[in-house]
Structures are given as C-alpha cells and as structure tokens.
Amino acid sequence: MKRLENTDKVLPCADYDRMVRIWLDASVEAHDFISREFWVENAEAMRTRYLPAAENYACLRDGEIVGFISLIGNCIEALFVEPWIQGTGVGTALLNKAVSLRKELELSVYSDNKSALGFYIAQGFRVVEERTDPVTGCREKVMRKVVG
C-alpha cells in the first residue's frame, strides 16, 4: 500500500452516497462485535440525518474518495477509511484537517475496536471517560485531544 502522497487532498465533501458506502464497509469490518444488520439498518439515517448535520471532509486519492471525517462542533462524529487503504496515512490526513480547524477535539470509540483505539492514542488523544453506548450496549471510550 502506498503512503499518503502530496497529491492526496482533504476537501469539504457532500457525496453522502459514497461516504455511506465507506462507513458501511469500514463499520462492518472494524466492529465485528456488532451485527452487520445493525449497520445496514442505520445506513439511511447516516445518509439523510447524520451526515447532512455535520461538517464533512473527504480524503481524495487519485480523484477518488477513500475516507472521510465528520465534525459537529468539537466532536469527531465519524472518521472512516476504506478498509483496503487503512494504514496508508488517510486517517492521519483527515485527523490533521480536524486539528487545523479546532483547538480541542473529542470522540467516542468502541472499546473493542482496538485498532481505532490505538490509532487515536498514537495521535495524542487520551481517554477521559468510559461508558456504555445506549444504542448498541457496547462499551466505549470518550477521548479528548487539546491542540497546541
């Protein structure tokens, strides 16, 4: 896999159909502790309610959207990268975009999503709370990063 290149771009995005496909593929793969049906059932709400309410940025590689980040205020509500391209710098580029826009960032990540948890810790986030997600019943960690 090639690393993030100077030709990759992080730009505002409203291609909700493409973003939902990435979200669904990445969610099913990263969250094998939650049924695939849960993600499929929530795809339409993601497309019509959650993404339109957020400030969205996509990472384009060779002109194709390969990942996105969604912000509401200081909260990272979503950061998803195509599974086949994870580990090549796309997630870091998206997170760097958020860091350039906010002085403080907060997010929630499922405790069983060890890969994402490790990524956020490596990026300077710290766990500030542990709780149970009321929708899935899964444990999650609230993480925060102060910029600067």
Q: Is residue 3 part of a domain?
A: no
Query: Which pLDDT score, from 0 to 100, does residue 135 have?
Result: 94
Q: Is residue 92 part of a domain?
A: yes
Q: Is residue 4 part of a domain?
A: no
Phi, psi of 123 (to 5 degrees): -90, 5
Q: Is residue 2 part of a domain?
A: no
Crossing angle for the helix pair 36-45 and 16-30, to the nearest 10 degrees: 160
Is the pTM value of this prediction over 0.85? yes
The total number of structural domains that make up the chain: 1
Residue 9 in this model has a pLDDT that exceeds 90: no
How many Cβ atoms are within 10 Å of 45's Cβ, its own excluded? 11
Tens-digit pLDDT profile for residues 47-82? 999 999 999 999 999 889 999 999 999 999 999 999
Tell me the residue range of the domain where 122 lies. Answer: 9-146
The CATH number of residue 136's host domain is: 3.40.630.30
Tens-digit pLDDT profile for residues 83-136? 999 999 999 999 999 999 999 999 999 999 999 999 999 999 999 999 999 999
Residue among 49, 56, 86 at smallest CA distance from 72? 56
